């Protein structure tokens, strides 16, 4: 590994074409392939938040799964997203839409649908159990939703960062340094990482600092895409951090 850090990607003019509200608008596109792709990405990213909310509201695993699957299946089938970008924050919109959907369902309707509908997102017992294990006993349904939504934002930002690093030929370096970003309970030591990459700890600290800056940039981009007003970004970032620390 070269001790001179690689040049950071240019930020001027960067476009984030997969921001949340642009995906919502894409869902309403006349291009059904584009609409379905946008919706499926939203499903994959945010089902844990809605699933966590349903579980904290008292739904059993199967019923919570059916609610989330049914909600996203309806969106994909009907492209039933009516909010405009200026209306509200995306996470508030999504939760409100899910609440309305859940209020119109009952156990018998869910039982009829169970097993007879295409699985929109993969919600298996193992993955779902991890969501439940991550819920604090004192969390309200809204707090559970906020935390899982924040984790979704973080995961999406990490995927962007990894894709960026891989495109620059730094996949091995990123995968080695990922545990040093402060996101893992059991982090790799700088000494271990330096040995793996045949470099110095000083060089690694520079590289990790730059990765953290890029991660922060991607987190801000994710959040900005879900806001109606740019001036709400700092407040949204503080709420995200609070949800992750809870």
pTM for this prediction: 0.70
The C-alpha atoms of residue 178 and residue 237 are separated, in whole angstroms, by 21
The C-alpha atoms of residue 172 and residue 174 are separated, in whole angstroms, by 5
Q: Which residues contact 173 (CB under 8 A, 6 or more apart)?
A: 1, 165, 197, 207
Identify the DSSP state of 179: G
Which of 18, 41, 10 lies closest to 164 in space, CA to CA? Answer: 10
The predicted pLDDT at position 150 comes to 87
Q: Which residues contact 164 (CB under 8 A, 6 or more apart)?
A: 9, 214, 218
Instruction: Please list the pLDDT of the chain residue by residue as tens digits (246 residues).
Output: 544 444 344 343 333 334 455 555 555 555 666 666 666 677 777 888 999 999 989 888 888 888 888 888 777 666 555 544 445 577 888 898 899 888 888 654 554 454 445 555 666 655 666 676 666 667 888 988 988 888 888 888 999 999 999 999 999 999 999 999 988 766 779 999 999 999 999 999 999 999 999 999 999 888 876 666 778 888 888 888 888 776
Check if the beta carbon of residue 182 is closer than 8 Å to that of residue 90.
Answer: no
């Amino acid at each position: 590994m070269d001790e001179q850090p690689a040049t950071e990607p240019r930020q001027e003019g960067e476009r984030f074409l997969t921001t949340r509200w642009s995906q919502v608008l894409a869902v309403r596109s006349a291009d059904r392939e584009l609409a379905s792709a946008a919706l499926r990405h939203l499903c994959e990213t945010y089902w844990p938040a809605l699933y966590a909310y349903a579980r904290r509201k008292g739904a059993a695993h199967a019923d919570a799964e059916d609610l989330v699957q049914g909600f996203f299946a309806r969106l994909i089938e009907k492209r039933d997203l009516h909010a405009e970008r200026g209306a509200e924050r995306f996470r508030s919109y999504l939760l409100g839409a899910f609440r309305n959907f859940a209020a119109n369902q009952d156990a018998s309707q869910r039982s009829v649908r169970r097993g007879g509908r295409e699985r929109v997102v993969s919600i298996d017992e193992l993955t779902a159990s991890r969501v439940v294990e991550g819920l604090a006993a004192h969390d309200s349904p809204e707090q559970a939703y906020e935390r899982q939504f924040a984790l979704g934002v973080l995961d999406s930002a990490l995927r962007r960062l990894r894709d960026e690093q891989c495109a620059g030929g730094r996949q091995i370096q990123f995968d080695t340094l990922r545990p040093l970003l402060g996101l893992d309970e059991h982090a790799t030591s700088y000494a271990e990482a330096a040995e793996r990459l045949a470099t110095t700890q000083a060089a690694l600290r520079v590289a990790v600092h730059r990765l953290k800056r890029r991660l922060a940039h991607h987190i801000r981009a994710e959040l900005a895409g879900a806001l109606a007003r740019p001036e709400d970004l700092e407040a949204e970032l503080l709420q995200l951090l609070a949800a992750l620390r809870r």
